[in-house]
Amino acid sequence: MMPTDPWADTRALLADCLGTDDLQALLQRASLIELATDEILLRDMAPTDSLYLLLDGRLEVHVETSGHSIRLGEIEAGNWVGEVAYYTRCGTACSTVAAMVHCRLLRLRFDDFTALLKDQAEVACRLSHVLIAMLAQRLRATVNDPVLDPEGNLLMLGDFSIPLGQQTHHHAGVADFFRNLLGMR
Amino acid sequence: MLLRQYLRTFPGFAFMSGEDVEHVADAMRVDDYPDGHVFIYQEKPAHAFHLLLEGTVTVSYYGRSGRSYSARTLRPGDLFGALSLVDGKPAMANYAAAGAVKVAAMPLSAFLLLYSPNSAIGCHFQHVIATHLAEDLKARHVTLRELLERIYPPAA
């Protein structure tokens, strides 16, 4: 009997996210986790050691302190979380991330991403490119001060997540950058 | 020499070889700028990636009401300007010299060549940019937490 592939139904999403079918090096280092509704994935300022790609479901992101919080937005499938803690090497989450519904995620430990950067530069580079796009989106979504909703909750108005269809799917290099800058398709 | 020393000390450059760092340094030009010089204007595209070497740069932005807010002050060793170059959208803030400053600037054309993912140096440079953007986002979250503490002061 053939062993079952735990990634069988997520390869297409991963290939779409990273713009490549060469996923073996990444998947060898990754694991699958699931979250129940309202379960906390990351707690603001608490230790963390992994990047996560949301495969199914929806996440909610807050910054919080002393029992009060600002809602930054929602994360939809195809988006990563945990990248700030990795790149800043602080070892702590910079926001609280919780499941709005049942969620399934790919987990990639920081040490494994670093190993990927050293050993499998092309895949790691594709992932870095995607993470830069997410960082840029989140920076723009949090530039303004929060507003109060009718219930008195503080929230940010920008889009915190990048729809999968709007993500960079391919790596054509400088030519594509210039095309994008000039608005050419 | 000063520029190469600076670059090698940055965590984001951890994956770059000495030769890579030399290439990055060669793509940057160091100049002195007077007090008040504006490097990047809010709502305008950035034209260069900057590294502050000496002095301070003030980051400010116009809010939805049109009021100007001081966001943060950059110190020597801080990078700025990458966001607009990465996503091709206008800058979110004004970056102006507060006093005389020395800044290393990498023009857009050199930035895009280095940022290309089709080379080893491009991959390593992307790590530099990701680290820089992550530091900016982390700083923004700190600011939001400070805002929360002003709105809801901890009980004495």
Chain B residues with CB under 8 Å of a chain A CB are: 11-12, 15, 61, 63-64, 83, 86-89, 92-93, 112-113, 115-118, 120, 122-123, 126-127, 129-131, 133-138, 140-141, 144-145, 147-149, 151-152, 154
Looking at chain A, the number of H-run helices and the number of E-run strands are 6, 10
Instruction: Convert the pLDDT of each residue in B10-56 to its tens digit.
Output: 877 878 888 999 999 999 999 999 999 999 999 999 999 999 999 99
Percentage of the residues of chain A whose pLDDT score is greater than 70: 89
CA A74 to chain centre: 11
- Give B107→chain A minimum CA distance, Å: 14
Q: Is the pLDDT confidence value at B112 over 80?
A: yes
Measure the CA–CA gap between B73 and B143, rounded to whole angstroms. 13
Contacts of A130 in chain B (CB under 8 A): none
pLDDT-based confidence at residue A153 (cuts at 50, 70, 90): confident
- ipTM of this model? 0.91
Contacts of A138 in chain B (CB under 8 A): 137
Residue B141, classed as helix, strand or coil, is helix
Whether the CB-CB separation of A71 and A60 falls below 8 Å is answered with yes
Q: Do the strands A103-109 and A50-56 form a parallel or antiparallel pair, or are they unpaired?
A: antiparallel
Instruction: Give the model's pLDDT for residue A3.
Output: 64
For residue B63, the tally of other CB atoms under 10 A from its CB is 11
A173:B118 CB<8 A: yes
A&B contacts, CB < 8 Å: 124
Q: Is the pLDDT confidence value at B109 over 90?
A: yes
Closest residue in chain B to residue A182, using alpha carbons only: B88
